[in-house]
Amino acid sequence: MTGCYVRCVTPFTRELLSWFSANRRTLPWREARTPYRVWVSEAMLQQTQVATVIPYFTRWLTRFPTLEALAAAPLADVLKAWEGLGYYRRARLLHEGAKRVAAQHGGVLPTRYDELVKLPGVGPYTAAAVASLSFGEPVLAVDGNVKRVAARLFCLPGEVKVRDANARLTPYLPETEAGAFNEALMELGATVCTPRSPRCEVCPVSPHCGAYRAGQVARFPEPKMRKRVPRLHRFALVCKKDGALWLRERSQSEMLGGLWGFVLSETEPVGVKLEPVRHAYTHLKITATPVVVGAPPEVGAWVKVSELDALPLSRLDYKILEQVREMAVDKLA
């Protein structure tokens, strides 16, 4: 595809937008659109599928209907509402960002990209999504879907950088419909120009697609070099008494900060070992062997099993909990 360097509405843009208006999915964050709803949905949608996000988004808006409500909520409630979505840093930063907007902007989100991007947790993607979808600012929001679409449209070699996708697509960004253009590209990537088996036969822009025209769609995007992630082994100290477990609230500075969980130890404690559990994060893989120990470790608190539901726990800790329950070491509840 070749660019239109004076910003005009190109046939590519027109065809993409008209496809989007006929094919856009009905999604909760597309209804009653407010900047706050856009912000929350975009924070949730990073690295997470639409189908997973929908129930979280709906619950979130019931629990924290406004930015002020979010800013006023305790962090533990925020993490609890996020529980299961993973990447908890996003939830902590969303909370930080809401507090900042409440304190410094009178509870009203700034309207411009340059201001939005200064907020905690708002990176270039989220700032561009909020600025374009809520306020119509003509800035491109480049996520993983958009990078893949750009790689195919322009036959981009190697790993596609946000900068490259931006440079190639910006000439097609319509001055007055930037939000729809961004969402149309994301939608195309999510539903047609998918990672495997893209549906080029129904693609509205295949005549403009370099990879399609060259019969090379399978070649793009070119595979990334996979980074090897470190593997950790830890022992999860399981200590129980009268229907309570010994757990610890992780500090903000550590991984899974603000979440509760079993105390993890690098050294093997004395006790009864249960089946190890495994969990993969983007940057590391962890294997935790639960060990039922006789006395509680130094830091932590007794938490009644009946009260566990109220606390935010990570997936790893739920897996450990499952082992503890399955092994019926004792009646926990």
Instruction: Compute the distance between CA of residue 79 and CA of residue 270 in angstroms, rounded to an integer.
Output: 33
Of 10 and 52, which CB lies nearer to ligand ADE in the complex structure? 52
Instruction: Compute the distance between CA of residue 12 and CA of residue 249 in angstroms, rounded to an integer.
Output: 52
Instruction: Compute the distance between CA of residue 147 and CA of residue 166 in angstroms, rounded to an integer.
Output: 9
User: 128 CB contacts (<8 Å, ≥6 apart)?
Assistant: 113, 139, 140, 141, 142, 182
Catalytic residue among 15, 31, 42, 268: 42
Member of 16, 19, 36, 42 binding ligand ADE (CB under 6 A): 42
Minimum Å gap between C-beta 231 and ligand ADE is 31
Of 6 and 51, which CB lies nearer to ligand ADE in the complex structure? 51
Residue pair 63/77 in contact by the 8 Å Cβ criterion: yes
Of 135 and 246, which CB lies nearer to ligand ADE in the complex structure? 135
Minimum Å gap between C-beta 174 and ligand ADE is 17
Instruction: Compute the distance between CA of residue 190 and CA of residue 188 in angstroms, rounded to an integer.
Output: 6
Residue 159 a catalytic site member: no
190 binds ligand ADE per the rule CB under 6 A: yes
State how far the alpha carbon of 208 is from the alpha carbons of 16, 219, 274, in Å. Answer: 11, 17, 57
317 binds ligand ADE per the rule CB under 6 A: no
Closest to 210 (Cα-Cα) out of 147, 140, 145, 149: 149
What six digits make up the tokens of 204?
A: 């509205």
- How many residues touch ligand ADE under the rule CB under 6 A: the total is 8
83 binds ligand ADE per the rule CB under 6 A: no
137 binds ligand ADE per the rule CB under 6 A: no
Residue pair 172/154 in contact by the 8 Å Cβ criterion: no
Member of 122, 155, 165, 186 binding ligand ADE (CB under 6 A): 186
Residues of span 9-28 touching ligand ADE by CB under 6 A: 27
50 binds ligand ADE per the rule CB under 6 A: yes
Instruction: Compute the distance between CA of residue 141 and CA of residue 270 in angstroms, rounded to an integer.
Output: 52
Minimum Å gap between C-beta 122 and ligand ADE is 14
Region binding ligand ADE by CB under 6 A among candidate stretches 183-191, 268-276, 282-290, 319-327: 183-191
Residues of span 234-273 touching ligand ADE by CB under 6 A: none
Instruction: Compute the distance between CA of residue 69 and CA of residue 60 in angstroms, rounded to an integer.
Output: 11
Query: Which value, in Å, is the radius of gyration of the alpha carbons in the chain?
Result: 23
Region binding ligand ADE by CB under 6 A among candidate stretches 42-50, 75-83, 108-116, 280-288: 42-50
Q: Which amino acid is at 37?
A: R
Member of 143, 164, 177, 317 binding ligand ADE (CB under 6 A): 143
Which residue sits closest to ligand ADE, CB atoms considered?
A: 45
Instruction: Compute the distance between CA of residue 49 and CA of residue 23 in angstroms, rounded to an integer.
Output: 18
Member of 183, 205, 209, 324 binding ligand ADE (CB under 6 A): 183
What is the helix (H) or strand (E) element at residue 238, kind and residue range? strand 231-238
Member of 16, 40, 45, 180 binding ligand ADE (CB under 6 A): 45
What six digits make up the tokens of 249?
A: 């609230």
**Footprint on this chain of ligand ADE (rule: CB under 6 A):** 27, 42, 45, 50, 143, 183, 186, 190
**What are the residue numbers of the active site?**
42
